[in-house]
Structure 1
């Protein structure tokens, strides 16, 4: 991954009335990265959720991300959803993701997981390669470009790859290729009839993702 220097200038956390998250704005010399932060009481791990080139707080699989963020608080996992500044730019999106990771670490989190969809799959792998605190990665309908660092996660971060065989945006062969280059622990699931957002497999996918995170984030299972 390309090494990028980022200098923080200010971090602002704004509670949102009636919502389960706070807005976190991270100002840097590259601009402001905006996040939604779902804080868990006595959190033991943190999760970063990132989307694809659509931008905003996009999520695959019928609101997978907000559902995960809500559910995992019961497991003492704090979650941050990152909105990219430049959603078509792999490097800048990775910078945004790393800033989200740094924010979680500033809140006392020492173990991290990453989930990314489409471009976000490559972003998650790039970001994981930059931080030894990452123990679990989930790449959903990932592209191949930018996933080269996956081999370097060997022995440190477990990777789950999920894709639909009816994806007309990114072929499921992309996830197969990433899986081939990855090392154990790894898992690949191809959903029959599911498209790029995997809405058709939303419930099954949600179960897979949550189980993977709880299994591979240290101290989560009792």
Structure 2
């Protein structure tokens, strides 16, 4: 299938990616941080990131002494909780327990690709400012396209995960390379058909991996245990590969 023509929003993100930007599209920089209660589930530390693009809500799960961190982005409705509005809540804590910090970000303008991509870049900037190495970014549904765009744009990203991701805005999947891209989808997804995953995989360059769960719908929760296991293997392996590659360049 021929690659689709980019929308006006995607062209704007493209100008951002290539440095042809106006003052409103410069990379988000975190100037200061306010601590907030994590009201949604009482897991993690609520944060407000005061940035050059406005205030960005986040929940921070810090693994003390870790140099590895993940940014988790939800679907078009925003929020902090990801697939089924529940998955990230426990998954972020699971990552923390294996020595990987996690930042769950909310969107300033849900369902708008360009500012949402910049929000994820702001999350990456927060991690970088705290001394973390390149991040893995994970997004669900609309967020799958968001993290593909942000991951392609950021030199401080070492891997991208699209969970039941949409194709709109995801055609830059090939620009994620040489960082790895993991594409996960449910075969019974009626909101975004599994063909979306197949299309994104076709746009992507190696290294890439596609996993399709036969009985899963859009939330992927029918295969929650398998998904958690997959991510808790893939993410540490991705960090280790990035560390090895960096060491080989020295």
Q: Which residue of 163, 166, 169 maps to 2:185?
A: 163
Report the equivalent of 2:221. 199
8 Å contact from structure 2 (residues 173, 200) kept in 1: yes
* More displaced 10-residue stretch of structure 1: 158-167 or 66-75: 66-75
Give the aligned CA root-mean-square deviation in angstroms: 2.2
Q: Deviations over 1:61-119 (max 9, x none)?
A: 57331222112223322110000111110111111111111111111101210110001
Q: Deviations over 1:183-208 (max 9, x none)?
A: 22211111112111111111111111
Shift of 1:146: 0.8
- What does 1:5-84 align with in structure 2 at a 5 Å threshold? 5-6=26-27, 8=29, 10-14=31-35, 16=37, 19-60=42-83, 63-84=86-107
Contact 1:68–1:210, Cα closer than 8 Å, also in 2: no
Structure 1 length-normalised TM? 0.90
* CA contact 2:62–2:101 (8 Å) conserved in 1: yes
Q: Decide whether the 8 Å contact of 1:11 with 1:24 is kept in 2.
A: no
Q: Summarize the Cα distance change of 1:16–1:66 in structure 2 as closer, same or farther, 3 Å threshold.
A: same
Q: Is the counterpart of residue 140 in structure 1 residue 163 in structure 2?
A: yes
Q: Partner residue of 1:187?
A: 209
Supply the distance in 2 between the matched residues of 1:180 and 1:44 (Cα, whole angstroms): 32
Moved over 3 A (4+): 6-10, 15-20
Note the C-alpha offset of 1:30: 3.2
The equivalent residue for 1:121 is 144
Give the corresponding residue for 2:127.
104
- Contact kept? 1:75, 1:220, Cα under 8 Å: no
Partner of 2:7: none
Q: 1:158 to 1:61 in 2, by over 3 A?
A: farther
Residue 19 of structure 2 corresponds to which residue in structure 1?
none
Higher relative contact order (CA 8 A, sep 6+): 1
CA 1:101 to 1:140, structure 2 compared with 1: closer, same or farther past 3 Å? same
- Could you tell me how far 1:133 is from its partner in structure 2? 2.2
Q: Which moved more, 1:53-62 or 1:6-15?
A: 6-15
Partner-residue secondary structure (3-state), 1:218: helix
Find the residue that maps to 2:83 and give its secondary structure: coil
Note the residue ranges of structure 2 that are not aligned, 5 or more in a row: 1-12, 17-24, 244-250
More helix by share: 2
Partners of 1:77 and 1:194 in 2: how far apart? 27
Is the 2:62–2:102 Cα contact (8 Å) retained in structure 1?
Answer: yes
Task: Provide structure 1 residue ranges, at least 5 long, that are not aligned to the other structure.
Answer: none
Aligned positions, number: 220
Structure 2 length-normalised TM = 0.81
